[in-house]
Amino acid sequence: MILTKAQYEEIAQCLVSVPPTRQSLRKLKQRFPSQSQATLLSIFSQEYQKHIKRTHAKHHTSEAIESYYQRYLNGVVKNGAAPVLLDLANEVDYAPSLMARLILERFLQEHEETAPSKSVINSMLRDPSQIPDGVLANQVYQCIVNDCCYGPLVDCIKHAIGHEHEVLLRDLLLEKNLSFLDEDQLRAKGYDKTPDFILQVPVAVEGHIIHWIESKASFGDECSHHAYLHDQFWSYWNRDGISQCCSGWCGTPGLSSSSASASQSAGITGMRKHFLPGILMKCVCK
């Protein structure tokens, strides 16, 4: 499904300083009933990440951390069962999972005396049962399950989507009888940076010749497109030695061609609509 730039911007408009919770997503769904939850979540997640990138620093000053921690301590003393941490995160406009991490770090610093390693923190966030303090464990868990943009669960969902779409794409290529080399084969050949698939025989789609396909299971806004271009696509290009490169979202210029849609594979009909739901296929064309 193709989302126009105007639609995209309308959605993004609604997401300004909205906490990344289940409730927000529900409201969004009511507002845009024609968009699938996956699309909305993807846009939400991306917009929210941009927001966090901008504001991240101010939550990490030692003063801020200290004041959050004190507020948390006061809150749980009053009522340990109340969603203290989650409310705090929403109030200061910070992702609950990230707030949980902040407080957990601070907590461990106080109780363990040595600065906790990153892997310890990550492991506690993945499994809050390991957190020595029961109240904090519950608070952290609450933050994590209520955060729809950050946290180990969300990361896992994103990773799963990426994997699923790679599989879908592979099936599609097999179905269309296109001969390709996948990432593992490429790596075995010694490529250092690999796209998901390199077509052994290029195909032409709507006037563009496609040499390779990279599926990104995320919404392709302008900003992330540029980042990917920089990080990955040019390096593929350098290695595949294609003389000229133009990459766009699924062949049509600009953002209007962005695709981010349904969570089910029902929409896949073939290469004519050369995108897959919920993912972006970025084609480098000759």
Partner 1 sequence: MAAVLESLLREEVSVAAVVRWIARSTRGSEVTALTRPQDNPGEAAALSSLRPLRKEFVPFLLNFLREQSSRVLPQGPPTPAKAPGASAALPGRPGGPSRGSRGARSQLFPPTEAASTAAEAPLARRGGRRRGPGPARERGGRGLEEGVSGENLPGAGGRRLRGSGSPSRPSLTLSDPPNLSNLEEFPPVGSVPPGPAGTKPSRRINPTPVSEERSLSKPKTCFTSPPISCVPSSQPSALDTSPWGLGLPPGCRSLQEEREMLRKERSKQLQQSPTPTCPTPELGSPLPSRAGSLTDEPADPARVSSRQRLELVALVYSSCIAENLVPNLFLELFFVFQLLTARRMVTAKDSDPELSPGVLDSLESPLFQSIHDCVFFAVQVLECHFQVLSNLDKGTLKLLAENERLLCFSPALQGRLRAAYEGSVAKVSLAMPPSAQAVSFQPETDNRANFSSDRAFHTFKKQRDVFYEVLREWEDHHEEPGWDFEKGLGSRIRAMMGQLSAACSHSHFVRLFQKQLLQMCQSPGGAGGTVLGEAPDVLSMLGADKLGRLWRLQERLMAPQSSGGPCPPPTFPGCQGFFRDFILSASSFQFNQHLMDSLSLKIRELNGLALPQHEPSDEDGESDVDWQGERRQFAVVLLSLRLLAKFLGFVAFLPYRGPEPPPTGELQDSILALRSQVPPVLDVRTLLQRGLQARRAVLTVPWLVEFLSFADHVVPLLDYYRDIFILLLRLHRSLVLSQESEGKMCFLNKLLLLAVLGWLFQIPTVPEDLFFLEEGPSDAFEVDTVAPEHGLDAAPVVDQQLLYTCCPYIGELRKLLALWVSGSSGRSGGFMRKITPTTTTGLGAQPSQTSQGLQARLAQAFFHNQPPSLRRTVEFVAERIGSNCVKHIKATLVADLVRQAESLLQEQLVTQGEEGGDPAQLLEILCSQLCPHGAQALALGREFCQRKSPGAVRALLPEETPAAVLSSAENIAVGLATEKACAWLSANITALIRREVKAAVSRTLRAQGPEPAARGERRGCSRACEHHAPLPSHLISEIKDVLSLAVGPRDPDEGVSPEHLEQLLGQLGQTLRCRQFLCPPAEQHLAKCSVELASLLVADQIPILGPPAQYRLERGQARRLLHMLLSLWKEDFQGPVPLQLLLSPRNVGLLADTRPREWDLLLFLLRELVEKGLMGRMEIEACLGSLHQAQWPGDFAEELATLSNLFLAEPPLPEPQLRACELVQPNRGTVLAQS
| Nearer to partner 1 (CB atom), residue 157 or residue 245 | 157
Q: From the CB of 253, what's the least distance to partner 1, in Å? A: 29
Q: From the CB of 63, what's the least distance to partner 1, in Å? A: 28
Q: From the CB of 161, what's the least distance to partner 1, in Å? A: 4
| Nearer to partner 1 (CB atom), residue 36 or residue 257 | 36
Question: Could you list the residues that contact partner 1 (CB under 8 A)?
Answer: 22-23, 38, 41, 81, 83, 86, 127-129, 134, 137-138, 141-142, 145-146, 152-153, 156-161, 163-164, 167-168, 171, 188-190, 239, 241, 263-265
| Nearer to partner 1 (CB atom), residue 28 or residue 41 | 41
- For helices 118-126 and 152-175, the axis angle rounded to 10 degrees is 80
Q: From the CB of 204, what's the least distance to partner 1, in Å? A: 24
| Nearer to partner 1 (CB atom), residue 7 or residue 90 | 90
Residue with tokens 């290695």: 239
Q: From the CB of 244, what's the least distance to partner 1, in Å? A: 14
| Nearer to partner 1 (CB atom), residue 86 or residue 103 | 86
